[in-house]
Amino acid sequence: MVIKEVKRAGFENILVVDGYSSDRTVDIAKQNGIGVILQHGRGKAMAMEVAVNHVETPYMLVMDCDCTYDPKEIILLMNHGEQFDMVIGARRNGRENIPLMNRFGNRVITKAFNILLGKRLSDVCSGIYLLRTDVAKKLEFSAGGFSVEVEMASQLAMDGSITEVPVSYRARVGKQKLSRWRDGFKILFSVVNLARKHNPVLLFSSIASLTSIPAIIILLWVLYENIVNHIWHSGYALFGVMLLLLASQGLTVATISILIKRIERHLMSEIKSRKQ
């Protein structure tokens, strides 16, 4: 069904990567004249690596085959393929077709991604995105399960260019493979792990800045004890001040890290534009 829709939208160069499924994927693809590659290894990350190694066109588009995305909107992503390494189709219209818990989880994961990697995306877990093939061939695919999109976005957020365009989202056909809780926590953990790998300064400085919460609680308690009970806890006061100083240093380093990354992306964009 998805293959026929993609063809009707005017796209004939289609590649199916099959992980030895038992749902007639290979037969259906071959009946429609579509090339099929059997992946090695397990998981979506390995399927992506196999696909990237076989694609020869300048751009490649990845799309979930559960009928949730409209192939007619592929052109919306292609319009920005020359300017960006990765173009994500952010699900805007039809979000009611996403279960409430999935929406909440996606929002948490995307917010964590933006904070730790200094971006302003709205749907980092989207199942439709466009990649420049030469850039995709240089990416690492080490994350397991459904974290592959976050892994690619993390690498390109630091060392490439990434943007998003609004797309619609339709009701799913078939059973969902992603587990809301298990895979949701795995993806969130992957965001933190990838931030540690690709932007460690921002990650650890952000963690340090969180010490402001216990620092403020301790100092308020010391102030309360001094005003109400006329007791001065010098040790707790000193400890609270030290935590507050650590938090302020962490916040400063995090801010500087974000500014440096922005300058770096701006310089890389300028260099790329001059080469073209």
270's enclosing H/E stretch is helix 234-275
Mean pLDDT for all residues in the chain? 81
Band of pLDDT at residue 79, cut at 50, 70 and 90 = very high
pLDDT category at 233 given cuts 50, 70, 90 is very high
How confident is residue 118, by pLDDT bands cut at 50, 70 and 90? confident
pTM score, two decimals? 0.69
**Residue 251 CB contacts under 8 Å (≥ 6 apart), including other chains:** 205, 208, 209, 212
Tokens 């990350």: give the residue: 45
The pLDDT score that the predictor gives to residue 238 is 94
Tokens standing for residue 162: 């990434």
CA distance 172 to 97: 8
Q: CB-based contacts of 192: which residues, under 8 Å, 6+ apart?
A: 112, 116, 203
Residue 21 exposed, middle or buried by CB count within 10 Å (0-12, 13-18, 19+): exposed
**Lowest mean pLDDT, pick from 21-35, 119-133, 191-205, 225-239:** 191-205
Kindly tell me if the per-residue pLDDT of 193 is higher than 70: no
**Coil/strand/helix, residue 58:** coil
DSSP 25-56: HHHHHHHTT-EEEE--SSHHHHHHHHHHHH--
Residue type for position 234: S
DSSP labels, 141-179:
----GGGHHHHHHHHHHHHS-EEEEEEE-PPP-S---S-
Other Cβ atoms within 10 Å of 248 Cβ, number: 15
Res. 249: pLDDT tops 90: no
pLDDT, residue 237, reads: 92
Residue 120 has, within 13 A of its CA and on its CB side, a CA count of 2
CA distance 34 to 43: 22
**DSSP assignment, residue 2?**
H
Q: Which uninterrupted H or E stretch holds 93?
A: strand 86-93
CA angle at residue 62 from 138 to 3, to 5 degrees? 145
User: In the structure encoding, which two tokens stand for residue 107, read together?
Assistant: 């929002």
